[in-house]
Structure 1
Amino acid sequence: MKNLCFEFNHQVNSTEIDELNHVNNINYLNWVQLAANKHWGSLTNSKFDSLYVWVVLRHEIDYVSPAFLNDDVTIKTWIGDSYGVKSDRFVEVSRSGELLTKAKTTWCLLDKKTMKPVRIPKDILVLLKEMKL
């Protein structure tokens, strides 16, 4: 059985800390995008990069608990529904099993030449549906 979640670890560094001495919320957004890019890259091995590009339509982020300097966090992502030109992705950031942040992001597939939305092709749709949690 496939592991439908993709995850990686990250140690919080000083550039990610704000004046409140915890991770600035913009860094969680960066981690959400990084998770999506890493996961997509692992699924496709650049197979579709010359034809398509994903862009964000919407981010929904819930901040549950702060992360601090040198915390080791786990960033986990998985694919939700994919339909028409859109695909939903979920990301959770945790520390030692404690949920810190969760996000839902809606992505839109663009034709790389025209930069216009394109219906998700069958081969990509099959890949996304196989990875849906």
Structure 2
Amino acid sequence: MKSEIFEFHFTVPKSAIDDMDHVNNVVYLQWVQDVAKKHWESRTSKDIRNTYVWVVLNHYIEYHNPAFENDEVTLQTWIHNYKGVRSERHTKIINTTTQKVLVSAKTSWCFLHKETLRPARIPDEITSLFL
């Protein structure tokens, strides 16, 4: 099962640049988490967000090409599958001008009840929002 792709576009800020004059690897990881949050917030109500949260179980990330200050980038993310309390999300970071993939990532997330922080089976009301 692959859900609809969510996209976010922006320009690489100076604050993302490291001593090698390109985007720092840790920044890419932050962008992976940021776009996942934006996707979640774009599809869910405040009531849902006040009831449930996600935590990362692991990230697998591949760095393909560098990005530089003022590059235009597109972040794409989608849910690859759900099972029980887990969800696998994929992300691509793409240079908008050249269409080169800069980063590809796969993240395993665990769905939790916000109040108890205990794992919760992902209900159909949530999965249907991301198809």
TM-score, length basis structure 1: 0.90
The answer for unaligned runs of 5 or more in structure 1 is none
| 2:115 is the counterpart of 1:108 | no
Bigger mean CA deviation after superposition, 44-53 or 4-13: 44-53
Which residue does the alignment assign to 2:45? Answer: 45
The amino acid of 1:116's aligned partner reads: R
Which residue does the alignment assign to 1:20? Answer: 20
> Which of the numbers 107, 120, 123 marks the counterpart of 1:121?
123
Which residue does the alignment assign to 2:101? Answer: 99
Q: CA deviation at 1:49?
A: 1.0
- For 1:113, what is the secondary structure of its paired residue? coil
**1:56-95 residue CA offsets vs partner (Å, 9 max, x unmatched):** 1110100000001111111111111001000111110011
TM-score, length basis structure 2: 0.92
The amino acid of 1:103's aligned partner reads: A
Structure 1 stretches (4+) deviating beyond 2 angstroms? 125-128
Identity fraction in percent: 46
**1:103-131 residue CA offsets vs partner (Å, 9 max, x unmatched):** 00111001111111111122113334x2x
State the aligned residue count.
Answer: 127
The amino acid of 1:60's aligned partner reads: Y
Q: CA deviation at 1:16?
A: 0.6
**1:38-70 residue CA offsets vs partner (Å, 9 max, x unmatched):** 111111133411111011111010000000111
